[in-house]
Structure 1
Amino acid sequence: DLVKVEQRVEPTKKATQVLHKKLLGCMQSQPSLETERRMVKKLPLMLLSVSMAESLKDLDAESSIRRVLEMCCFMEKMLANLLTDFEMKLEREVLEPLNKLSEEDLPEILRNKKQFAKLTMDWNNARISNGPQAKQDGLREEVEEAWRKLENIKDQYSADLYHFATKEDDYANYFIRLLELQAEYHKNSHDFLDKNITELKENHNQKDSSLSVPRHKVYGEALLSHLTQSNRDIAAPIQECVHMLLRTGMEEEGLFRLAAAASVVKRLKNCLDQGVVDHSEFSMDPHAVAGALKSYLRELPEPLMTFELYNDWFKAAGWSEVCLLYLLQFLFLLSQRQAVNKMTFSNIAIVLGPNLLWPRAEGEAALLDMASASSVQVVTVIEPLIQHSSTLFPEGILTIKIMQKPIKGKPNYCSEHVTVHFTKPKAPGPPVTPKCKPPTAPSTTPAAQNTRMQPMPTPRSHTSVKKPPPKKPGVRAPTCPPPLPPPTQPAKEAPSVAQ
């Protein structure tokens, strides 16, 4: 139907004109230039590559930033080449045909349409004109001439419309070709980037044999991934923080409850991430160490007591059990000095419980849960775990021996051996008295204090602890540390990420 075809000509002309202009605006290079001139003339990717090449000159050859910039410089230049090829094909196969269609072909059809309308009007005017009889012959000739012109332009206009109708699918293919060229360009760019980024990462992650400091991020990293990469049984932040707290933080009032300076905690977290921790620097601020430990537990993608075991916490997962027992036994030691540090079983559970166990939630729900009833339930789970850790986990693993020089200005509670090791309970038998001399005066040792002091009452009546639970037969808690032979050489420190 030529009427419908005729109605499409004008909208098609407008569409091609607008889209041609917009496509020109999308091009980053200047049209109608050769390849090399296109790349030099204001192509952003090429200018970026040149800037990278100039910037890396001031960096030494061993700098990792220089090595990465060299590779990025090469990759940006290659991307500029791919972009130039794409834009040249786009100009040749899409822009030029669209421009010809909108500026030559369709305007020609529209001009014939106007001419056809004008000649039709002239023929009608000549046909209805009247005059003297003498002029009738001349008027008849004018009508015949107008009719011939009208027939000619009608044939031309009809041919143009038929041609447009047959070529309409070809015109639509220009836009399909646009998408094909874009897909080809992006695919080539993706393949190139994927291959070279993989190579860049492999080269960048290769460890220099002269450097022994691990560079794996630990905060926010999955526990199993960290333990596998570092070949450890105890997570580095947990072990490092426990070591520092055993030295100077066991009698610090409000440990884990009072906040430290955010800048110190942040610096310690960065040091733990880098694997280089100066114990003498951070042991001076036990609250910062406790804050870094709490932050590590809270930033784990999955809590130490796992999501799956939120309702069945006693079925501890194998790869997190070791870290959990290690931490619980340290917290038990911390509570033994509650007369000084004010950190009872309940207080420790309140400040650390939500960092050890929380339900699977996302967004604001996860934040609101910290103050919800579930957090109170978590405290009721964590408190007895700490309080009865020696009974629940008889095969203790916290065996720490620290021989450190005292820290200036800070009491060192572990300047000698600190050994805590729970063993399996034996069959019931007669009580065995520890082989140690009874104190002649009121002792101020932590062990003696533990036998005299009463735990502080908890906020919950059903979980308050008035006195230590009775000891089961076969489980012995010595009132003083066992005697140790004098060391012939300094004892080795527990393994740490700083070594």
Structure 2
Amino acid sequence: MKKQFMRAKQIANQSIGRAEKTEISDKLQQIEKKSEAAKKSLSTVVKVFVPYINGTGVDKEKRLRKNHASHLGQSLQDCTANLPSDSVLKSVVMDLGTALNEVGKLQVNAEANIDEDVVIPISNVLENDGAAKAKKRLSGARLDMDSAKSRLNKEKERSSGSVNMVKLKTLNDEYENNEKIFNQAQDGLAIEHLQFLSNETMVASSVLNFVDHQMLYLKEAIAVYEAFRPSIQKSIEQSPRKKVFGVTLTEHLQTFKREIAVVLEECIKYITENAMETEGLFRITGSASQMKLLRAAYDGVGSIESILDERDFIPGIHSIAGTLKQYLRELPEPLMTHEFYDEWIDAAKYSIVACYNKALYMITDPQERLQELWRVNRSLPKENYENLKFLITFLATLAENAEINKMSSSNLALVMAPNLLQSSLQGLESPTSQVHFNEITSAVQSLIDHCEWFFQEDCV
């Protein structure tokens, strides 16, 4: 109790400047400053890591319940319960959910490993640090030493005339003993700080462990996604529920495993069976709402057969024809192709140079012109050629009823040509397409008028 009283008294005297306070050595202060900075950094590292790994000292089952990837995977799988079994979205989301569940397990393993090899070792370094106790011992030793020094100095001043050698010796011995304890306490604190700093390499190795565990987790997670990606891609590629409008002819035919585009085949079949004698086909505008519905059916389920079977929905024939034109117009690459645009134009206005009375004349030779058109037509890619053949054959049949439906080959060419051939520059609104409108129309009309010749397989 006496020692505690003396320490409290010394603190009070030092706080009001009535007693001196021995300073800690500069060397110890430098070591302590470096050590405290390292402790602060390590404490921050632990605080950052713990929430990142969903806590420290937590078993894997609890980690899994907190894991975001596992939560997401399970939620994705649950949300597909009401989707039909043949839904591509169901298949894709189920695969992704399974992949996320596997990734979640990998992440939990990584978290547990990081906890064991990174967080716990660093935490142990902080928890086993004896500097706080050593600093407390040093503080007490300094107070004891300063208190003994103060009593010794006061006794010297009080007994300046008659020195009490016994008491002075006792106080001096007490001071020297406390000074020795103080110096030992300084050394003890320095040892604790230096021992803490000696863990730097071990701590750095723990950080490297984090890198290794993260690399392994990411590598394994990528492997999981790589394993599931082909299945997801296959489901998408094999799904018939793909958009039809605005998709290239080649992609559409590959997706639906067809030779003729579904819009051409279904719309032409419907018109052939129901409306070959309807006046103004492809010229009269159809119902905008019906055309939107027909388009939505194609893009949604890849066919209009399901809605045509509904008794409550009987589309106008002009809506069917308008949908066909819209499909052709929105092809990224027109049926007669951008590539052969110039060749179609040149063939449509084909002329030969003739000499008469020493003068040159441009003479249009119908047979030569048709032969040039035939050459361009046969140069088309196979899928374009086959679909153009299917369409032109239908238009030629339609033109045979021109007296009734008022759609001659020239009328059909006028309304269909802009949807079959455009310049690659600006589509239908291209100045080039406008300038060459007559040539484009003429080329299409020639195809209709001479359909059998153009598409006869053994024609040479």
When normalised by structure 1's length, the TM-score is 0.55
Partner of 1:163: 195
Distance 1:162 1:16, change over 3 A: closer
Partner of 2:315: 284
What is the alpha-carbon distance in structure 1 between the residues aligned to residue 82 and residue 36 of structure 2?
Answer: 60
Distance 1:156 1:306, change over 3 A: farther
Distance 1:386 1:54, change over 3 A: closer
Displacement of 1:64:
8.7
1:269-325 CA distance string (max 9 Å, x none) = 247625856767787334543454355446545554556667777676524541356
Partner of 2:154: 131
Answer with 258-267 or 118-127: which moved more.
118-127
Query: 24, 32, 36: which one pairs with 2:57?
Result: 32
SS of the residue aligned with 2:153? coil
Identity in percent:
21
What is the alpha-carbon distance in structure 2 between the residues aligned to residue 53 and residue 331 of structure 1?
Answer: 50
1:153 aligns with 2:185: yes
SS of the residue aligned with 1:131? helix
When normalised by structure 2's length, the TM-score is 0.59
The 8 Å contact of residues 237 and 296 in structure 1, kept in 2 or not, is answered as yes
What is the alpha-carbon distance in structure 2 between the residues aligned to residue 98 and residue 78 of structure 1?
Answer: 29
Distance 1:305 1:150, change over 3 A: farther
Partner of 2:204: 172
Mapping of residues 268-417 of structure 1, within 5 Å: 268-270=297-299, 273-274=302-303, 276=305, 284-294=315-325, 296-297=327-328, 300=331, 302-304=333-335, 317-319=380-382, 321-322=384-385, 323-324=387-388, 327=391, 352=419, 357-359=423-425, 375-381=430-436, 384-391=439-446, 396=451
The 8 Å contact of residues 329 and 386 in structure 1, kept in 2 or not, is answered as no
Displacement of 1:96:
1.4
Displacement of 1:171:
1.6
Partner of 1:186: 218
1:94-122 CA distance string (max 9 Å, x none) = 221232244443xx446646765776687
What is the alpha-carbon distance in structure 1 between the residues aligned to residue 300 and residue 315 of structure 2?
Answer: 16
What is the alpha-carbon distance in structure 1 between the residues aligned to residue 122 and residue 259 of structure 2?
Answer: 68
The 8 Å contact of residues 268 and 292 in structure 1, kept in 2 or not, is answered as no
What is the alpha-carbon distance in structure 2 between the residues aligned to residue 149 and residue 275 of structure 1?
Answer: 98
Partner of 1:227: 253
Mapping of residues 38-117 of structure 1, within 5 Å: 39=64, 78-105=102-129, 108-109=130-131, 112=134
1:13 aligns with 2:39: yes
What is the alpha-carbon distance in structure 2 between the residues aligned to residue 179 and residue 326 of structure 1?
Answer: 62
Partner of 1:440: none
Structure 1 unaligned runs (5+)?
Answer: 208-212, 360-368, 398-419, 428-499
The 8 Å contact of residues 329 and 390 in structure 1, kept in 2 or not, is answered as no
What is the alpha-carbon distance in structure 1 between the residues aligned to residue 248 and residue 33 of structure 2?
Answer: 65
Which amino acid counterpart does residue 252 of structure 2 have in structure 1?
H
What is the alpha-carbon distance in structure 1 between the residues aligned to residue 297 and residue 87 of structure 2?
Answer: 25
What is the alpha-carbon distance in structure 1 between the residues aligned to residue 168 and residue 398 of structure 2?
Answer: 126
Answer with 328-337 or 193-202: which moved more.
328-337
SS of the residue aligned with 1:388? helix
Which amino acid counterpart does residue 316 of structure 2 have in structure 1?
D
Q: Counting helix residues as a fraction of each chain, which structure ranks higher?
A: 2
Which amino acid counterpart does residue 435 of structure 2 have in structure 1?
T
Displacement of 1:382:
5.3
Structure 2 unaligned runs (5+)?
Answer: 1-26, 157-163, 346-375
Answer with 385-394 or 236-245: which moved more.
385-394
What's the Cα RMSD here? 5.4
Greater Rg over alpha carbons, structure = 2
What is the alpha-carbon distance in structure 2 between the residues aligned to residue 346 and residue 4 of structure 1?
Answer: 93
1:146-174 CA distance string (max 9 Å, x none) = 43234323333333444344432332333
What is the alpha-carbon distance in structure 2 between the residues aligned to residue 201 and residue 291 of structure 1?
Answer: 34
1:241 aligns with 2:304: no
When the two structures are aligned, how many residues end up with a matched partner?
A: 380
The 8 Å contact of residues 334 and 422 in structure 2, kept in 1 or not, is answered as yes
What is the alpha-carbon distance in structure 1 between the residues aligned to residue 447 and residue 30 of structure 2?
Answer: 87
1:24-76 CA distance string (max 9 Å, x none) = 33345x7534445655x565666677778989999999999998888777656
SS of the residue aligned with 1:387? helix
What is the alpha-carbon distance in structure 1 between the residues aligned to residue 286 and residue 76 of structure 2?
Answer: 49
What is the alpha-carbon distance in structure 1 between the residues aligned to residue 77 and residue 168 of structure 2?
Answer: 88
Distance 1:67 1:238, change over 3 A: closer
What is the alpha-carbon distance in structure 2 between the residues aligned to residue 140 and residue 75 of structure 1?
Answer: 79
